[in-house]
């Protein structure tokens, strides 16, 4: 009887080891959250109807994102991130006016470091990456009552964050994370730059809105 129990225990250990012989390599996550945004100062303040407007930027809004990752070691992972923030563009100062929809999209290549063993139920992680933020153009009435067109933009952007993955089972888990992405809004004139060979050029300062997202959702690993 003892020999039979011992054999069963060994067999169970071998089966368990075989199940984890090949750690999961692919991870797919779908998340929803909320993105907090700040505005950027306009180059000159505009006064209309007794109100002064000196800030431009996207509103804080609902956001969603998807990631596809490949674990090339037990701890290091390469990911592609797509995220969309359902913002509106607004000007503010002594009053606030909404100009129109301003849905910011993020396309990022990310490298993540997952702490702990792949078999752990909870794995904290940190990540950083680079890619682009983009938003479509829009036409909307300006403060002067005339309709103005704002061109869409696609600009280089980095992204940084941290979170935790919780796996009650081997394949299905929960992913919680915080992510910061500076997003290009506009460029203000910073004067002229001249050289003795090619002449003079207008120099611009690119302004970025801080996008801070808190989100969570399901993650699958294979």
Mean pLDDT of the 180-195 span: 71
Pairwise pLDDT comparison (135 vs 143), residue with the higher score: 135
Residue 98's pLDDT band, with cuts at 50, 70 and 90, is: confident
Q: pLDDT value at position 81?
A: 97
Q: pLDDT value at position 14?
A: 42
| Residue keyed to tokens 């004067």 | 191
| Residue keyed to tokens 């969570």 | 216
What average pLDDT does the structure give for the chain? 81
Assigned architecture for domain 24-221? Beta Barrel (2.40)
Question: Model pTM?
Answer: 0.77
DSSP secondary structure letter of residue 6: H
**Separation of alpha carbons 200 and 33, rounded Å:** 46
Does pLDDT of 2 surpass 90? no
Mean pLDDT of the 167-185 span: 92
Tell me the HSE value of 102 on the side-chain side, using a 13 A CA sphere.
25
Task: Answer yes or no: are the C-beta atoms of 181 and 159 closer than 8 Å.
Answer: yes
Instruction: Express each pLDDT in 104-119 by its tens digit.
Output: 999 999 999 999 998 8
**Separation of alpha carbons 142 and 43, rounded Å:** 16
In this structure, the number of other CB atoms found within 10 A of the CB of residue 97 comes to 16
């Amino acid at each position: 009887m003892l020999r039979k129990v011992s054999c069963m225990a060994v067999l169970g250990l071998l089966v368990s080891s075989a199940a984890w012989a090949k750690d999961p390599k692919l991870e797919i996550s779908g998340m929803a959250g909320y993105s907090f945004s700040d505005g950027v100062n306009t180059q000159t303040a505009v006064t209309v109807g007794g109100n002064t407007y000196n800030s431009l930027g996207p509103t804080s809004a609902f956001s969603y994102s998807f990631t596809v990752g490949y674990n090339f070691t037990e701890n290091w992972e390469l990911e592609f991130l797509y995220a969309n923030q359902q913002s509106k563009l607004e000007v503010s100062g002594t009053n606030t006016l909404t100009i129109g929809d301003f849905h910011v999209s993020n396309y990022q290549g990310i490298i993540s470091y997952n702490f702990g063993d792949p078999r752990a139920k909870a794995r904290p992680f940190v990540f950083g990456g680079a890619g682009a933020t983009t938003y479509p153009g829009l036409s909307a009435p300006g403060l002067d009552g005339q309709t103005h067109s704002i061109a869409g933009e696609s600009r280089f952007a980095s992204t940084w964050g941290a979170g935790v993955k919780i796996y009650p089972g081997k394949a299905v888990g929960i992913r919680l994370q915080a992510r910061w992405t500076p997003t290009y809004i506009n460029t203000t004139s910073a004067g002229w730059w001249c050289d003795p060979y090619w002449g003079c050029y207008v120099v611009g300062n690119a302004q970025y809105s801080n996008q801070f997202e808190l989100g969570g959702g399901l993650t699958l690993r294979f």
